[in-house]
């Protein structure tokens, strides 16, 4: 079996995980101090979002030095201590490689700005007039994707913030520099890598206006992307490490190629299509209730497509860019526990490697900020202005942010009911969610029936039953938008996973043979109700049935 199929990855946003020195910002020592908690949960890898020196305009995704640690998070010794301590517990550390762009404070960009042509060719500079950007492409954080440098009389490309300048991967010297970075961290004992927006690195040979959109069709899964990934992996010899690419607006065919072992690119891919089913007209900033049918169909297309093509999915609901899933598809009220557990089972038992984002395992929710001053994320602040310019009232714009802001997932981890949720003794860099007195790790550990306990069981089950990692997937009840149901098969074994996506009790047609199956897991105590050929599912109920012939 490929080494990553039966593994579970836990994502840590260090700034918000645990603050060991009371300055209000989480740090690397804080992670080391919580290793017992993570080992007990049972996870195999910890993916840390960037901890490298950075002006923090995009919380570390604006890297100023790839081979050092930002003092905000600690020192290199702290990271080495974490790597060693984690390894003692059988946990590997994965680092986040932000290779599409650097911070404009990176020495390469600084040299480019000072007029050094060698370093200008590290980036994407274009001659031009101050009032005429080279193309009409839009930045993903709002506004033009080009910035004019008066001193040079040139524009540079930034698909994200103006302080995140895109690297020129067509320049072999850039590719060599980035390989050095991977080798550096590999040599430090890191066990895997997450590659940030890696399917955007290959830009077109000619830059032209996009009359149909924001430019993404020219650089998404760009012309040399597969060649560049193969080269990076081959020359740094990371074929046997766990690697995951973040794929922005990608396609199934490309993800098959990125993750088919025969291609020797990456272990697996994140794609985001299933997290856009509540975007009205595909626009993140327009609210709409989630389209459950679309959600089901997207999972089906990707699961079956990746299976047929021998690709491998990274399975996830939450990360540092997404609002909390219980707030989005589940319930923050009466069915908080049930819905959080159902959403966990729904995703963990699909075909792929599951990722848990810090706090997801205790059912953390969006914080419901009501004041723009509570938001810190660059994308949220930019879009707040854009929404106002488009004619929304401040209240309407705040409503959109409350549902869509990336800060929703970045609030400090809720460890206890103590001040600052036990995250820190000194403060919190970002406002906490008010519910930390009820929703916290301490409370979860004291409750045998907690969401945390359920995640723990799911992880344990993956280790016990190979069918979860290896089995084939088939979908059931495809036309019923209220239930997400599938079956896994492997040799003589069969697993049936039924998830009620709604807050109502529902009845679905059932197979009589299920009567003889074993209930492996569920989010309601007691018996399940199969009568004749019907199965009743309580609100947000999930039921995992198993049979070995
Ligand atoms: C990825 C990161 C996100 C960051 C962006 C630019 O999408 O997950 O947080 O802002 O890339 O680096």
Q: Which pLDDT belongs to residue 1?
A: 62
Ligand 1 center to 464 CA (angstroms): 35
Distance 321 CA to ligand 1 centre (A): 7
Taking CA atoms only, the protein residue closest to ligand 1 atom 12 is: 61
Helix (H) or strand (E) holding 499: strand 493-500
Q: Would you place residue 323 in the very low, low, confident or very high pLDDT band (cuts 50, 70, 90)? A: very high
pLDDT digits (tens, 9 = 90+) for 98-137: 999 999 999 999 999 999 999 999 999 999 899 999 999 9
321 lines ligand 1 (CB under 6 A): yes
Q: Whose CA is nearest to atom 4 of ligand 1?
A: 61
Average pLDDT, whole number, for the chain? 97
Region of residue 165 (phi > 0: left; psi between -120 and 50: alpha; otherwise: beta)? beta
Confidence grade of residue 273 (pLDDT, cut at 50, 70, 90):
very high
Question: 161 C-alpha vs ligand 1 centroid, how far in Å?
Answer: 10
Token pair in block for residue 31: 């992670």
What is the CA 97 to chain-centroid distance, rounded? 14
- Cβ–ligand 1 distance for 98 under 6 Å, the answer yes
Can you tell me which atom of ligand 1 is nearest the CA of 378? Answer: 10
DSSP string, 50-81: P-SS---TTTTSS-S-TTS--TTT--HHHHHH
Instruction: Dump pLDDT digits (tens) for 425-456.
Output: 999 999 999 999 999 999 999 999 999 999 99
Q: Are 372 and 394 in contact (CB under 8 A)?
A: yes
- Facing residues of 313 across strands? 269
Select from 197, 248, 376 the residue to mutate for testing ligand 1; criterion: most ligand atoms less than 8 Å from CB: 197
Read off the DSSP letter of residue 288.
Answer: -
CB 287 within 8 A of CB 401: no
In this structure, which residue's CA is closest to atom 5 in ligand 1? 61
Residues 412 and 428 sit within 8 Å (Cβ to Cβ) = yes
What single DSSP character describes residue 408? G
Question: Contact, 453 vs 444, CB < 8 A?
Answer: yes
Cα separation of 94 and 267, whole Å?
13
Q: Which two tokens stand for residue 253?
A: 């065919």
Residue 464: which H helix or E strand, with range? helix 451-464
The CA 368 to ligand 1 mean position distance, Å, reads 22
Q: What is the mean pLDDT of residues 261-278?
A: 98
> For 367-450, where are the alpha helices, taking DSSP H only?
378-389, 394-404, 441-445
Q: Name the helix (H) or strand (E) containing 298.
A: helix 292-309
pLDDT for the residue numbered 473: 98
80, 86 Cβ separation under 8 angstroms: no
CA dihedral angle for residue 118, residue 122, residue 123, residue 128, rounded to 10 degrees = 20
Active site residue 196: yes
For the CA of 160, the nearest atom of ligand 1: 6
Cα 381 from chain centroid?
21
**How many angstroms is it from 404 CA to the middle of ligand 1?**
15
One of 246, 265, 278, 494 is an active-site residue; which one? 246
Taking the CB of residue 72, how many other CB atoms lie within 10 A of it?
Answer: 18
**Per-residue pLDDT reduced to its tens digit, 414-424:** 999 999 999 99
With a 6 Å cutoff on the Cβ, whether 62 touches ligand 1 is: no
Domains of the chain: 9-101+172-458 (3.20.20.80), 107-165 (3.90.400.10), 472-548 (2.60.40.1180)
44 touches ligand 1 (CB under 6 Å): no
User: In degrees to the nearest 10, what's the CA dihedral of 19, 24, 27, 31?
Assistant: 30
Q: Tell me, in angstroms, the distance from the centre of ligand 1 to residue 244's CA.
A: 14
* Angstrom distance (rounded) from CA 531 to CA 524: 18
Is the CB of residue 96 below 6 angstroms from any atom belonging to ligand 1? no
Q: Is the CB of 61 under 6 A from ligand 1?
A: yes
How far does the centroid of ligand 1 lie from the alpha carbon of residue 413, in Å?
20
pLDDT in tens, 358-396: 999 999 999 999 999 999 999 999 999 999 999 999 999
Q: Which atom of ligand 1 is nearest to the CA of 100?
A: 12
pLDDT of residue 407: 98
State both tokens at 331: 């319930």
Put residue 240 in one of left, alpha, beta given phi > 0 → left and psi -120 to 50 → alpha. alpha
Tell me, in angstroms, the distance from the centre of ligand 1 to residue 137's CA.
Answer: 18
Rounded Cα gap, residues 112 and 167, in angstroms: 12
Does residue 161's CB lie within 6 angstroms of at least one atom of ligand 1? no
- Residue 379 alpha carbon, nearest atom of ligand 1: 10
At 269 the pLDDT is: 98
Centre of ligand 1 from the C-alpha of residue 196, in Å:
6
Residue 83 has pLDDT above 70, yes or no: yes
Rounded distance between C-alpha atoms, residue 490 and residue 488, angstroms: 7
CA 267 – CA 245 distance, rounded (Å): 8
| Burial zone of 62 (CB within 10 Å; 0-12 exposed, 13-18 middle, 19+ buried) | buried
Q: What pLDDT sits at residue 532? A: 78
How far does the centroid of ligand 1 lie from the alpha carbon of residue 100, in Å? Answer: 10
Q: Is 474 exposed, middle or buried (0-12, 13-18, 19+ CB in 10 A)?
A: middle
Atom 9 of ligand 1 has which residue's CA nearest to it? Answer: 321
Assign 370 to helix, strand or coil.
coil
Q: CA-to-CA distance for 428 and 421, rounded, in angstroms?
A: 9
**Catalytic position from the list 6, 96, 196, 407:** 196
- DSSP code per residue over 446-463: T-TTSHHHHHHHHHHHHH
* Residues 269/244, Cβ–Cβ less than 8 Å: yes
pLDDT greater than 80 at residue 253: yes
pLDDT in the model for residue 531: 81
CA-CA distance, 315 to 303, in Å (whole number)? 10
Mean pLDDT of 489-507: 97
Q: Residue 158: what pLDDT?
A: 98
Residue 280 CB neighbour total at 10 angstroms: 12
Percentage of residues in the chain having pLDDT higher than 70: 100
Residue 527 pLDDT level (bands cut at 50, 70, 90): confident
Q: What is the pLDDT of residues 85-102, one digit of tens each?
A: 999 999 999 999 999 999
Beta-sheet pairing, 92-97 with 154-157 = unpaired
- 321 catalytic? Reply is no
The answer to whether the beta carbons of residues 287 and 328 sit under 8 Å apart is no
Element (H, E) at 233: helix 225-236
Index of the ligand 1 atom closest to the CA of residue 58: 10
Short-list 49, 54, 55, CA closest to 28: 49
Give CA angle at 50 (48, 53), nearest 5°. Answer: 140
Which residue among 104, 321, 376 is best mutated to probe the pocket of ligand 1, counting the most ligand atoms within 8 A of its Cβ?
321
Q: Residue 190 corresponds to which tokens in the numbers above?
A: 């890191």
Q: Report the residue among 50, 160, 163 best suited for mutation to probe ligand 1: largest number of ligand atoms under 8 A from its CB.
A: 160
Mutate to test the pocket of ligand 1, among 14, 47, 61 (most ligand atoms within 8 A of CB): 61
Rg (CA), the chain: 23
Residues 102 and 487: their CA atoms lie apart, in Å, by 44
Pocket perturbation via mutation, ligand 1, pick of 11, 15, 58, 376 by most ligand atoms within 8 A of CB: 58
């Amino acid at each position: 079996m490929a080494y990553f199929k039966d593994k579970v990855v836990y994502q840590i946003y260090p700034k918000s995980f645990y603050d060991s020195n009371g300055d209000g910002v989480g740090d690397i020592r804080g992670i080391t101090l919580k290793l017992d908690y993570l080992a007990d949960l049972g996870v195999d890898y910890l993916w840390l979002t960037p901890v490298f020196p950075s002006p923090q305009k995009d919380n570390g995704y604006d890297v100023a030095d790839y081979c050092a640690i930002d003092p905000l998070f600690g020192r290199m010794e702290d990271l080495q201590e974490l790597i060693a301590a984690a390894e003692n517990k059988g946990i590997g550390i994965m680092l986040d490689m932000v290779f599409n762009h650097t911070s404009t404070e990176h020495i390469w960009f600084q040299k480019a700005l000072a007029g050094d042509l060698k370093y200008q060719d590290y980036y994407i500079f274009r001659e031009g007039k101050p009032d005429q950007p080279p193309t009409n492409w839009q930045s993903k954080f709002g506004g033009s994707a080009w910035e004019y440098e008066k001193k040079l009389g040139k524009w540079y490309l930034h698909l994200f913030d103006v302080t995140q300048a895109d690297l020129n991967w067509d320049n072999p010297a850039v590719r060599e520099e980035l390989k050095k970075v991977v080798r550096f961290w590999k040599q430090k004992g890191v066990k895997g890598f997450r590659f940030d927006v890696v399917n955007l690195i290959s830009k077109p040979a000619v830059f032209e206006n996009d009359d149909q959109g924001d430019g993404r069709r020219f650089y998404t899964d760009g012309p040399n992307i597969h060649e560049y990934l193969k080269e990076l992996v081959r020359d740094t010899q990371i074929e046997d490490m766990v690697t995951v690419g973040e794929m922005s607006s990608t396609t199934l065919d490309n993800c098959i190629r990125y993750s088919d072992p025969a291609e020797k690119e990456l272990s697996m891919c994140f794609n985001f299509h299933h997290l856009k089913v509540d975007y009205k007209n595909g626009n993140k900033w327009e609210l709409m209730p989630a389209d459950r049918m679309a959600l089901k169909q997207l999972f089906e297309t990707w699961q079956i497509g990746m299976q047929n093509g021998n690709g491998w999915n990274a399975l996830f609901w939450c990360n540092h860019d997404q609002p909390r899933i219980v707030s989005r598809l589940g319930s923050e009220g009466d069915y908080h526990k049930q819905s959080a557990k159902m959403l966990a089972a729904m995703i963990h038992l699909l075909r792929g490697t599951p990722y848990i984002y810090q706090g997801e395992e205790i059912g953390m929710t969006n914080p419901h900020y009501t004041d723009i001053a509570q938001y810190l994320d660059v994308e949220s602040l930019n879009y707040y202005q854009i929404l106002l310019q488009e004619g929304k009232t401040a209240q309407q714009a705040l409503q959109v942010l409350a549902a869509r802001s990336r800060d929703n997932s970045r609030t400090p981890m809720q460890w206890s009911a103590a001040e600052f949720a036990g995250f820190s003794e000194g403060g919190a860099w970002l406002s906490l969610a008010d519910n930390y007195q009820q929703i916290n790790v301490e409370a979860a550990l004291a409750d045998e029936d907690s969401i945390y306990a359920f995640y723990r069981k799911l992880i344990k089950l993956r280790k016990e039953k190979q069918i979860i990692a290896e089995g084939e997937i088939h979908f059931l009840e495809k036309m019923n938008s209220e239930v997400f149901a599938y079956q896994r098969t492997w040799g003589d074994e069969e697993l049936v996973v039924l998830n009620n996506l709604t807050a109502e009790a529902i009845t679905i047609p059932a197979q009589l043979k299920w009567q003889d199956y074993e209930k492996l897991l569920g989010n309601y105590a007691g018996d399940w109700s199969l009568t004749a050929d019907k199965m009743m599912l309580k609100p947000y109920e999930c039921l995992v049935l198993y049979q070995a012939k």
